A = this chain, B = another copy of it.
Amino acid sequence: MTAVDTPAAASALDVAAVRADFPILSRTVRDGKALVYLDSGATSQRPRQVLDAEREFLEQHNAAVHRGAHQLAEEATDAYESARARIAAFVGADPASLVFTKNATEGINLVAYAMSNAATAGPDAARFTLGPGDEIVVTELEHHANLVPWQELCRRTGATLRWFEVSPDGRLDLDSDPITERTKVVAFAHQSNVLGTVLPVAELVRRARAVGALTVLDACQSVPNRPVSFTGLDVDFAAFSGHKMLGPSGVGVLYGRQDLLAAMPPFLTGGSMIEMVRMEGSTYAPPPQRFEAGVPMTSQAVGLGAAVDYLSAIGMDAVEAHEAALTGRALDALAEVPGVRVVGPTDLVDRGGVVAFVVDGVHAHDVGQVLDDRGVAVRVGHHCAWPLHRRFGVAATVRASVHVYNTPAEIDALVDGVRAAQKFFGVA
Contact = CB atoms under 8 A, between A and B. Distances in A.
Contact of A270 (B73, B148, B296, B372): B148
Interface in A360-414: 365, 368-369, 371-372, 376-381, 384, 386-387, 390
Nearest to A106: B268
Interface residues of A, number: 95
Given A37-B72, A148-B274, A27 B269 contact: no
B55 A55 contact: yes
Interface stretch (A56-64, A81-89, A209-217): A56-64
A206 interface: no
A51 interface: yes
A237 to B, nearest CB: 15
A219 interface: no
Contact of A30 (B71, B243, B279): B71
A103 interface: yes
Nearest to A369: B69
Contact of A279 (B103, B163, B371): B163
Contacts of A250: 102, 248, 250-251, 296-300
Contact of A148 (B37, B43, B156, B277): B277
A63 to B, nearest CB: 6
A30 B39 CA distance: 46
As for how many copies of this chain the complex holds, the number is: 2
A311 B297 CA distance: 22
A102 B251 CA distance: 9
Contacts of A384: 67, 270-272
Interface in A253-299: 266, 268-272, 274, 276-279, 281-282, 293-299
Given A249-B300, A277-B144, A387-B278, A294 B103 contact: yes
B43 A249 contact: no
A102 B64 CA distance: 15
A293 B42 contact: no
Contact of A64 (B43, B151, B296, B386): B43
A334 interface: no
A69 B372 CA distance: 8
A163 B274 CA distance: 20
Interface of A: 23-24, 27, 29-30, 35, 37, 39, 42-43, 45-46, 51, 55, 58-64, 67-73, 102-106, 108-109, 113, 117, 120-121, 140, 143-149, 151-152, 155-156, 161, 163, 241, 243, 248-251, 266, 268-272, 274, 276-279, 281-282, 293-300, 365, 368-369, 371-372, 376-381, 384, 386-387, 390
